[in-house]
Amino acid sequence: MEIEIKNLTKIYNKQTVLSINELSVDKGELIGLIGNNGAGKTTFLRLLTDLIKADSGVVYLRNQNVSKTEKWKFYTSAYIDTGFLIEFFTPEEYFSFIASNYKITTNEVQELLSCLTDFMNGEILGKKKYIRDFSLGNQQKIGIIGAILSKPEILFLDEPFNFLDPSSQYIISNYLSELHQKFNTTIIISSHNLECIYNISSRVLLLEKGIIIKDVSPVNNELRDELNGYFRIN
């Protein structure tokens, strides 16, 4: 089992914002995490990456309790928000920093960046400016590239399509789909962009007030209509 969750809860101000009794994710699944604002999507991803402490329960990545060991960090990567960026670095310095931590060679970095030339659209590399001085869209691109630079076997992304133009959304959607299909990467993506999620996910989880109310696979046209109906009503 790649990811396993048991009795996971998070409480803020005496209000339970996430409650998942049991969830299992097999290796190579690409899971789309959807729900309205306040559904608990970001809280869920933060618990998966041990960025916040659960009030109860446990998250296992390959049978390793994320709150008890750091071994899972060597095969797991994430981009949740701009807090993951080092704003006083240039993109090149940021990518080199990540590469050094994962013992990735310069040639391997260049190979990945060359695959994402269209995604960067000539706006990221060679600009001689700090990450903090880039637009939100380009900061988003830098964060996503940083997350996939280590060639993770497990990848978590929170709203990766935010701030991106339609072309960039299309490119990164295809790239993530390729990671899933060619390298059997296990991916969980949260997003309000339902079409992007439907198009690339092998499984979709719908959260409402911290509870998984639908867990569907495969994502066929009938299930798309059912999920879209939920958002039309809510």
Average pLDDT, stretch 12-25?
96
The whole domain housing 66 covers 1-22+36-71+202-234
Q: Cα separation of 181 and 137, whole Å?
A: 26
Q: Which residues pair with 3 in a beta bridge?
A: 25, 61
Taking Cα atoms as reference points, which of 44, 45, 33, 35 lies closest to residue 9?
44
Q: Cα separation of 145 and 139, whole Å?
A: 10
Q: Which segment of 41-45, 92-96, 228-232 scores lowest on mean pLDDT?
A: 228-232
CATH of the domain at 117: 3.40.50.300
What is the band of 233 on the pLDDT scale with cuts at 50, 70, 90?
Answer: confident
- Domain-embedded: residue 27: no
Q: What is the helix (H) or strand (E) element at residue 156, kind and residue range?
A: strand 154-158
Q: Are residues 175 and 91 in the same domain?
A: yes
Q: Are residues 51 and 148 in the same domain?
A: no
Structural domain count of the chain:
2
Biggest CA-to-CA distance, the chain: 51
Model pLDDT for residues 50-71, shown as the tens digit of each residue: 999 999 999 999 999 999 999 9
Taking Cα atoms as reference points, which of 84, 150, 60 lies closest to residue 112?
150
What is the band of 223 on the pLDDT scale with cuts at 50, 70, 90?
Answer: confident
Model pLDDT for residues 165-212, shown as the tens digit of each residue: 999 999 999 999 999 999 999 999 999 999 999 999 999 999 999 999
